[in-house]
Amino acid sequence: MNQAGNKDGLYRYARRRSREVMVGGVGLGGDNPIRVQSMIISDTLDTGAAVKEALGLAENGCEIVRITAQTRRHAANLEHIVAGIRSAGCDIPTVADIHFKPDAALEAAKWVEKVRINPGNYADSKKFAVREYTDGQYADEISRIAEQFKPLVERCKERGVAMRIGTNHGSLSDRIMNRYGDTPRGMVESALEFARIARGLDYHDFVFSMKASNPKVMIEAYRLLVDALDAEGPDWNYPLHLGVTEAGDGEDGRIKSAIGIGSLLLDGIGDTVRVSLTEDSIHEIPVAQALVACSARQVAAGELAGRTEHLPFDPFEYTRRASEKIEVQGIDVGGGETVRVMVSGEKFKAVEHKLKELGEFQPEIIAESSGMVAIDPRDDRAIAGINELSDAVLVSLADELDLPVVAGFRLLAARIDQRHPLVLKDTLVINGDPDKDFLDSLLAAAVNIGSLLCDGIGDAVLVQGEQAPGQTLRLAYNILQASGARIFKTDYVACPSCGRTLFDLQETTARIREATGHLKGVRIAVMGCIVNGPGEMADADFGYVGGAPEKVNLYVGKQAVKFNIPQVEAVDRLVDLIKEHGRWVETPVTAAG
């Protein structure tokens, strides 16, 4: 694998070399910069609204714009949308988003510069059927898919249209599910099936994506994909589109996106990104731009070239680093205990008088009196001194080192004995600027701490890049939640709006949060249409899915149990469903009432 399987690549940034694929006049991969893209939320049949939104995205730095084309009728109207964009003097490339409908893809390919297909539903009707496929039956299925996919490939090849083969976790075909399961490995194989067909027709203008709402799954899938492409040969060097699908909104959506996208960017993986937020698309662009810039700044912070230490984690399967349990200030740390939240003594004093008001966001360990040993992982004498200790101690990177944070902690994890618990820091430079942009602090913390947690590294976290004590604690806990390291509140999987959406996602998500936000550990999916449900809800406990205009279907897991519920009463019915399954608790009364 490019980075995770290359020892030197663990410590020294090197962007994965990919071939260039042109999307209109915008190049992906090769020597091009990492591109930022988004998707409009307007109805594709509303030409004026779609054109206006696309132009607004372009004016704000979006380099590629995607438009849903759920039917052939919608796809045909792309002709007028693209014409409207071009008549305004804008040359932003357009991408048609296709699910289920090969005829819509064929129509769309007449008008746009790129077509996105999902291998899990392009030529398959998902039934969640359980069956065994013989090798012969499996080969017959591939032949059937090739017959449906071949016309699109030939049209794209003829017109110079690019393609994204975009696999989504949870929307894999029954064929893949039965052989590989709903796994990152299955996601990779689903994409490779279609890539082999395209290559067999001498078509190479495509990119891959491996999206999931769970950053761990997403990171693992991309790493497996890169490993598989490397194994296929040097001419399988296709560009990669990065994204965490259904990330949600607000801080949670930004943190989850930063963990997944940022982790891969730091490892040199990724040629174009989209941050998927349940907000107006215009808000996605500055987050994506800041995330790309944030990653670039961190890899420029320093290098650890030439290191030959073993991998301190398995890049293809999550396993938490097995440290020993030690007691620190009356709290157990390491040894499989939940990841702890540490703060400076100064920040603890600032919130000490209002701990009850902080709710779940509690400071657990004070850094200065924790016994933590902070070192330079390149210092052989310091490493030897720690490894010679008879008892395990908290260990972290020293502040002010000229090291990129992630690479530094990887080296530290590789060199110290596994028994010593590790304290992760978001930055090695303590922030003293009260006016620092919180988005920058949030993204840096999510990228650095979140990516290490997803690699199984870390027993406690210390956020130093944000000055405000309350925001520091909130940020630390939200990163733990988004990375799956510590669940302390309701987890939401919410897709971004698009032209397929059958209700107001932003308003609906807010109402569902208000009604269910106190259900610790319950995972609720809010999906605007059948494309993003039931499959892409992945491991959600309950789902709220648009079934028809102003009608909602409710799910338990991936099973629809309530159909065509009027939207005005659907949130109440969702609450009833949660109660029926014994997952409801009453809203706790806080000190603030």
Residue 79 vs residues 74, 336, 568: alpha-carbon distances, Å: 10, 56, 36
Residues 135-178 have pLDDT tens digits of 888 889 899 999 999 999 999 999 999 999 999 887 888 888 88
The token duo for 119 is 């291998």
Domain 491-580 fold is Sulfite Reductase Hemoprotein; domain 1 (3.30.413)
What is the per-residue pLDDT for 487? 84
Name the CA radius of gyration of the chain, rounded: 24
Same fold, 21-299 and 491-580: no
Residue 416 Cα to chain centre, angstroms = 30
Distance, in Å, from the CA atom of 484 to the CA atom of 244, rounded to the nearest integer, reads: 14
Of 425, 411, 415, 481, the residue nearest 458 (C-alpha):
425
What is the per-residue pLDDT for 534? 54
Residue 293 vs residues 34, 258, 287, 479: alpha-carbon distances, Å: 10, 12, 10, 20
Is 458 in a helix, a strand, or coil? Answer: coil
Largest CA distance in the chain: 74
**What residue segments make up the domains of the chain, in order of their start?**
21-299, 326-482, 491-580
What is the per-residue pLDDT for 536? 55
The token duo for 509 is 């998500």
What is the per-residue pLDDT for 302? 56
Cβ neighbours of residue 137 closer than 8 Å, sequence gap 6 or more: none
Of 309, 286, 371, 335, the residue nearest 62 (C-alpha):
286
Query: For the domain 21-299, what is the CATH code?
Result: 3.20.20.20
**H/E segment holding residue 134:** none
What is the per-residue pLDDT for 247? 64
| pTM (predicted TM-score) | 0.88
The token duo for 315 is 């890049």
What is the per-residue pLDDT for 185? 95
**H/E segment holding residue 460:** strand 460-462
Task: List, edge to edge, every strand of the sheet that includes 551-556.
Answer: 491-494, 523-527, 542-548, 551-556, 559-566
As averages over each run of 10 residues, the pLDDT of the chain (593 residues) reads 46 86 98 96 95 97 96 97 98 94 96 95 68 84 93 98 92 84 92 97 98 92 97 97 82 93 93 91 94 76 68 91 97 96 97 90 96 96 97 97 92 96 96 86 95 97 95 95 87 63 70 84 75 59 79 82 84 89 76 38
**H/E segment holding residue 494:** strand 491-494
What is the per-residue pLDDT for 14? 80
DSSP letter string, 305-361: TT--PPPSS-TTS-----PPPEEETTEEESTTPPPEEEE-HHHHHHHGGGTGGGTT-
Give burial (CB, 10 Å; 0-12/13-18/19+) of 150. Answer: middle
Give burial (CB, 10 Å; 0-12/13-18/19+) of 444. Answer: buried
Distance, in Å, from the CA atom of 62 to the CA atom of 262, rounded to the nearest integer, reads: 18
